[in-house]
Amino acid sequence: MKLGWAAGRVLAKQGNGPVLVGKDTRISGYMFESALEAGLSAAGVDIRLLGPMPTPGIAFLTKSTRAQAGIVISASHNPFYDNGIKFFASDGTKLSDDIESEIEYELNLPMQSVYSRDLGKARRITDAPRRYIEFCKSKVSSNTDFNGLRIVLDCANGATYHIAPKVFEELGAEVISHAVSPDGLNINDECGATSPESLQKLVKDSRADVGIALDGDGDRLIMVDHQGNIIDGDDILYIIAQSHIEKLNGAIVGTVMSNFGLERAIKGLDLKFLRAAVGDRYVIELLQKEKLVLGGETSGHIINLDLSTTGDGIIAALQVLETMSVKEKQLSELVVGMTKLPQIMRNVKLNEKVDISKLTPINNAIKDVENTLGNTGRVVLRPSGTEPLVRVMIEGENEAQVKKLVEQLANQVEQEVASLS
């Protein structure tokens, strides 16, 4: 409630527009929605309640309705007992650092309501799903339809359950829906982009052409070809890149964790491949800095800035299906030009926060591994953003060699960190 109040206080200085509030399907969303509504109202800001909506749908509606901001209640791909709150600015992008700092400042102040006559009013936007469905459909060429295409669609019992099936059906596809019965507790539960095993089986059993798995808030996806093989974010980036070269301004953006095979394949298309830090926020920042339009993560966050202001699983899936239709190829054929390198990661636990980059023995060990790999692989040591871990990742052409090098380097990191305790 205080976060809603603090955000409302800051936004009230910007203008008089309402703030949109949407959520995914986890049970705690009811509680957070009511609390945010109360806080915003106490700050004198009007509220528009969207109900269950995908994160990119809330970003779209924030911009299209000229709202002051959009609030998403979601923990994305996490289990139902987690939840979180994120904000979009009026243009459908992430809030600026300055606005975030102002909100943090207000959070430290005593909460005081405006006078009764100045309280914000709340109402529901009942046609929000239909507006977003039409928005998604508009991103496919008007002369493209998916007649004859059989899709298995896994909505993770999340925010796309009542939207994604209609998008693909209305574009002509035969849709076999899975995980579209949310009960507040089953979001991402052995389904969706983080658990595609059931989708793989369903695709093969139903002899479908393609499988699509979205995550709980609909901002990322994993796909499955007709043989049941996983098509991850790296594959999806390559597919979209090769069919839209003319609009990419000469480069695309991945992350430090994107497979080296993707980098090679993108360079094979005469495009540059840039790497951002892990996280869709950093991908978007680099895209904007370099005036590019396409980027994403291995996990399935795909950003098409010429189509949407944020990662959008439905729109990314539509781009892939349109490529299949135009090229008249199966999904498995569209990734033939990319050969992924074995990529192995091991997590090293930390007892306290340590800046690995400043430890000379570890830097020397990294250089030794890089010399061993030459130009055929990479080494990445990355602190986890949410856990006391360092992720040790190595990729190269020889899987047995990569496994051996990962163990060696991870053991050296463990020993060095232990010596500091």
What is the enclosing helix (H) or strand (E) of 47?
strand 47-52
Q: Which of 166, 187, 174 is nearest to 25 (CA)?
A: 187
Active site positions, annotated: 76
CA-to-CA distance for 76 and 218, rounded, in angstroms?
A: 8
CA-to-CA distance for 173 and 167, rounded, in angstroms?
A: 9
CA-to-CA distance for 311 and 276, rounded, in angstroms?
A: 15
Spell out the long-range contacts of 79-86 with Cβ–Cβ below 8 A and sequence spacing 24 or more. 79/187, 79/188, 79/189, 80/26, 80/27, 80/28, 80/184, 80/185, 80/186, 80/187, 80/188, 80/189, 81/26, 81/28, 82/26, 83/26, 83/28, 83/29, 83/32, 85/3, 85/32, 85/36, 86/55
Q: Give the pairing type, strands 85-89 and 122-124.
A: unpaired
What is the enclosing helix (H) or strand (E) of 384?
none
What is the enclosing helix (H) or strand (E) of 14?
none
What is the enclosing helix (H) or strand (E) of 410?
helix 399-420
